[in-house]
A and B are shown apart, each in its own frame.
Chain A
């Protein structure tokens, strides 16, 4: 039972354009969502998060949008840079439960 789903295994975007990574979840108890970025042979690195009381959170080039009614969130990266090429994981948690449920990841490639 995959509670957090990233349906696009890969995404290729031109440098300077917008990258949009999508994530869907099924558990309505999730109230905190995070995006992690992972380079090869390294552990995941926290990127940005959003609480369920918000519908948008922005940090520099990164913006996360949350649509609770659709149980959908997305990560926007603009402008995309070659260093953004990595695997991006969406993760969710339930208040009080100190564990994350991860999606399968999306490999983002930024082409020069």
Chain B
């Protein structure tokens, strides 16, 4: 597809379980971002990749959250020991070059921890 693709669209998991959220960026985009949007709030920055490396992970809330982008394309956000407070829409975005902040967003994964 032409846009940023995120799977799954919805994920319901039990408290304490491990989840993985996947992002397929626009082909050729070197920069990839993860944001989290809680109800009634704007997106909050989690992590930024330039190529395969995490250039800025200052937004990850704690060590239960981890993200990888091993081949510089697809990225996976991993959350261990999920908590009810992790429930949110997780948004992925990509942009074409290092200097461009005008990123294209995917539709998001709605995570619900019960």
Q: With an 8 A cutoff between CB atoms, is A42 at the interface? A: yes
Q: With an 8 A cutoff between CB atoms, is B25 at the interface? A: no
Contact with B along A71-94 (1 / 0, CB 8 A): 000000000000000000101010
- Determine if B31 and A98 form an interchain contact, defined as CB atoms under 8 angstroms apart: yes
Tell me the bound Cα distance from A89 to B43 in angstroms: 9
How distant is A2 from chain B, measured CB to nearest CB, in Å? 9
- Determine if A99 and B56 form an interchain contact, defined as CB atoms under 8 angstroms apart: yes
| Interface residue count on the B side (C-beta < 8 Å) | 27
Stretch at the interface among B11-19, B62-70, B98-106: B98-106
Contacts A89-B42, A104-B41 given; does A44 touch B91 at CB 8 Å: yes
Q: With an 8 A cutoff between CB atoms, is A102 at the interface? A: yes
Contact with B along A1-20 (1 / 0, CB 8 A): 00010100000000000000
Residues in B neighbouring A91, C-beta threshold 8 A = 42
Residue in B4, B59, B101 whose beta carbon sits within 8 Å of that of A34 in the complex: B101
- Determine if B40 and A99 form an interchain contact, defined as CB atoms under 8 angstroms apart: no
- Determine if B45 and A43 form an interchain contact, defined as CB atoms under 8 angstroms apart: no
Residues of B within 8 A of A (CB): 4, 31, 33, 35, 40-45, 48, 50, 55-56, 58-59, 91, 93, 98, 101-108
